[in-house]
Amino acid sequence: MRSENIPVVVVGGGSAAFEAAVAAKQAGAPKVVMLEKAPEPEFGGNARFSHTGFRWVFSGGDEVRQFLPDIDDEFFSKLNLPAYSSEMFQADLQRVTQGRISKELSETLVAQSNSAMHWMRDLGIKWEIDSNVVIDGRYYFEPGLVIHPTGGVGGGLGQLMQWRDIASKMGIELRYESRLTALLGNDQQITGVRVSDPKEEYEIQTHSVILCAGGFQASAEMRARYLGANADLMKVRGSKHDTGEVLMMTIALGAKTAGHWQGAHATPIDSTYPDVEIGSKANRYGYPYSITVNTLGQRFFDEGEARHSYTYAKTGWAVLGQPGALAYQIYDQTTIPLLGNRYEFSTPIEANSIDELAGKIGIEPTVLQHTVAEFNNAVRKDVAFDATKLDGKCTEGITPKKSNWASPIDKPPYWAFSITGGVTFTFGGLQINTQAQVLNTSNNPIRGLFASGDIVGLFFHNYPSCTGQTRNVVFSRLAGRNAAAQGL
C-alpha cells in the first residue's frame, strides 16, 4: 500500500476542519492536508446547509460594528445591540444543559469566544447582521446572536467558500472523496491514518491528526441505536455524509466518550420538506408567539417558556413524541406580522374560522375550538404583550401553561403550518480537554490526536442556539495550534 508523510492531517471538510487547518498552518505546520469524504459539489458538512450564526461575548454596538464596516449609519442606528457578557453566556450554557456541560470546556468556550471571532475577522471573513424581529422600526436580536458570515452567497455556504479561499491561499491541500477508513496507532499515540478515495486505499504517516468529522446524525442505524425508538425515521437537516464512522473508530482505538448519547439537537421544521439535507429554509421558530397543537388538537408544551434560541433544539423532540411525529403551529393576525421573513419558504394553510382551519388540517373541529377557547380564556388580560422581552403575559389554569407571549387567537384569517422534528447534530461524542486533545479512558491525552466540532461530546438535553459554530472555532483554533506544535 502506498504511504506518504504529512505533518498535520485534518479529517473532515466542514467549518471545524477549515478552522483547524488554517490555525495549524498559521502556527507553522509545513504541510496541512484536509481529508473530505464528500465529493467537491457536496463539500462542507453541516455548515453547507446552515445559516451559521455565532453566539459570542461582545461589549455592545461599537464592537459589533467592527465586523460590519460597510453598514449604513442610519440603518445601524436602528439595531438594538446590548452587550452579551461572559456571565450571560455561561449562565445560558449551564441552564439549558441542566448543569451537565463540562465546567472546564464551557469556561474555555466562553472565555475564547470573543478572540476567536476577532481571529476570523482578522483572517478576512466577512459578516452581515443576523435574523431579527422588527418592532416599531427597531431591529431586535436573540441575546448574543447578532452577526453571521456572508461571502456573497450568504449563510453557511458563504462561510465555507470564504474558508476554502483562505485555506487555498495558505497552501492547505483539500482532498475530496477521501474517506478516513482507519486510525493507526493506539490509545497512547497516533501514528497515521488510512484513506480510501475512488482510485485507491493508501496510508499517511503523521504525528498529528485533527478529527472534525461531525456527529452521527445522518446514520439511521446509529440514530436508532443511540437516540431511541423510531429515531431512525427522523428527518436530517444537514449533510448526508455525517455518518459517525470516525467517531466509532476513535472509540474503538480507546478514546473516552462524553456528552449526551441519547441526546441530539432537534428542531421544529416544516413537515413537507425532504428527508435529508433540508437546510434552514424549513425552520419554523415562530412558535413562542402562538400555540402548537398535535393531530389530536391538543397543546403539548409551553411554547413561551423562553426565547426560541433557548428552546428550539428541544422543541423538535417534543414534536417527534406526538402521534405521527406531526403538529401544527397556529397564528392569527396579531402574531403573523412577528414571523417576519422567517416563514417565507412555506405556504400557510389559511382559514377564516377555527372550524374551517380544523377541517383543512384534519383535526376534529370541536376539539380544536375547545383548545383555542380554553387557551384564550386562560390568557392573563392584565399583562401587556411585548415581543421584545420575556413579557410574563402567561396563561393561568391550563396545562401546559404558556409562560410568555400568550396572546388570544381571535383575529382571522388564521394560519397553520404543519411541522415535524428534524435532527441537526448529535450530542454524544469524544472527550477532549481544554487543549482539544482527545483523551483515552484513563483520562490521558492520546498523543497527536485532537478533535473539534460535532464529533466532540459537550451538550446535554438542550442547546443555546448558535453555540456550535463558536465551539468549532474555539476548539479548532486550539487543535490546530497544538497539532502544529506536535507535527513540527
Ligand X SMILES: Cc1cc2nc3c(=O)[nH]c(=O)nc-3n(C[C@H](O)[C@H](O)[C@H](O)COP(=O)(O)OP(=O)(O)OC[C@H]3O[C@@H](n4cnc5c(N)ncnc54)[C@H](O)[C@@H]3O)c2cc1C
Q: Does 132 bind ligand X (CB under 6 A)?
A: no
* Shortest distance in whole angstroms from residue 459 CB to ligand X: 10
Q: Does 47 bind ligand X (CB under 6 A)?
A: yes
Q: Tell which residue, 183, 88, 76, has the closest CA to residue 139.
A: 76
User: Is the CB of 33 or the CB of 354 nearer to ligand X?
Assistant: 33
Q: Does 159 bind ligand X (CB under 6 A)?
A: no
Per CB under 6 A, which of residues 166..185 are in contact with ligand X?
Answer: 179-180
Question: Quick one: which of 22, 50, 329, 402 contacts ligand X (CB under 6 A)?
Answer: 50
Per CB under 6 A, which of residues 280..309 are in contact with ligand X?
Answer: 280
Q: Are 434 and 307 in contact (CB under 8 A)?
A: no
Q: Does 246 bind ligand X (CB under 6 A)?
A: yes
C-alpha cell at 103: 465546567
User: Is the CB of 395 or the CB of 426 nearer to ligand X?
Assistant: 426
User: Is the CB of 36 or the CB of 270 nearer to ligand X?
Assistant: 36
Amino acid at position 339, single letter:
L
* Shortest distance in whole angstroms from residue 331 CB to ligand X: 23
Q: What is the 3-state secondary structure (H, E, C) of 319-381?
A: HHCCHHHCEEEEECCCCHHHHHHHHCCCCCEEECCHHHHHHHHCCCHHHHHHHHHHHHHHECC
User: Is the CB of 182 or the CB of 296 nearer to ligand X?
Assistant: 182
* Shortest distance in whole angstroms from residue 358 CB to ligand X: 31
* Shortest distance in whole angstroms from residue 274 CB to ligand X: 13
* Shortest distance in whole angstroms from residue 299 CB to ligand X: 26
Per CB under 6 A, which of residues 436..465 are in contact with ligand X?
Answer: 453-454
Q: Using CB under 6 A, which of the segments 80-88, 118-126, 186-194, 234-242 binds ligand X?
A: 234-242
Within 13 Å of residue 471, how many CA atoms lie on the same side as its CB? 26
Q: Does 52 bind ligand X (CB under 6 A)?
A: yes
Q: Are 111 and 93 in contact (CB under 8 A)?
A: no
Residue 345: Cβ-neighbour burial (10 angstroms; 0-12, 13-18, 19+): middle
C-alpha cell at 13: 471538510
Site string for ligand X, 396-435 (x = CB under 6 A): ----------------------------xx----------
Question: Quick one: which of 8, 9, 21, 38 contacts ligand X (CB under 6 A)?
Answer: 38
Q: Tell which residue, 306, 283, 251, has the closest CA to residue 438.
A: 251
Q: What is the distance between the alpha carbons of residues 459 and 456, in angstroms, rounded to a whole number?
A: 9
User: Is the CB of 328 or the CB of 425 nearer to ligand X?
Assistant: 425
CB within 8 A of 74, min separation 6: which ones?
A: none
Q: Please give the C-alpha separations between residue 372 and each of 306, 366, 379, 459, in angstroms, as whole numbers.
A: 21, 10, 11, 36
C-alpha cell at 158: 458563504
Kindly report the backbone phi and psi dihedral angles of residue 469, in degrees, each rounded to the nearest multiple of 5, phi listed first.
-65, -40
Q: Does 332 bind ligand X (CB under 6 A)?
A: no
Question: Quick one: which of 12, 259, 263, 297 contacts ligand X (CB under 6 A)?
Answer: 12
* Shortest distance in whole angstroms from residue 469 CB to ligand X: 3
* Shortest distance in whole angstroms from residue 90 CB to ligand X: 17
* Shortest distance in whole angstroms from residue 144 CB to ligand X: 11
User: Is the CB of 13 or the CB of 428 nearer to ligand X?
Assistant: 13
User: Is the CB of 278 or the CB of 361 nearer to ligand X?
Assistant: 278
Question: Quick one: which of 8, 10, 17, 174 contacts ligand X (CB under 6 A)?
Answer: 17
Greatest Cα pair distance, the chain, in angstroms, is: 76
Q: Does 263 bind ligand X (CB under 6 A)?
A: no
Q: What is the distance between the alpha carbons of residues 144 and 471, in angstroms, rounded to a whole number?
A: 14
Q: Using CB under 6 A, which of the segments 44-52, 363-371, 376-384, 397-405 binds ligand X?
A: 44-52
Tell how far CA 107 is from the center of its chain.
19
Contact footprint for ligand X (CB under 6 A)? 11-17, 35-38, 44-47, 49-53, 179-180, 212-214, 237-239, 241-242, 245-246, 279-280, 424-425, 453-454, 466-469, 472
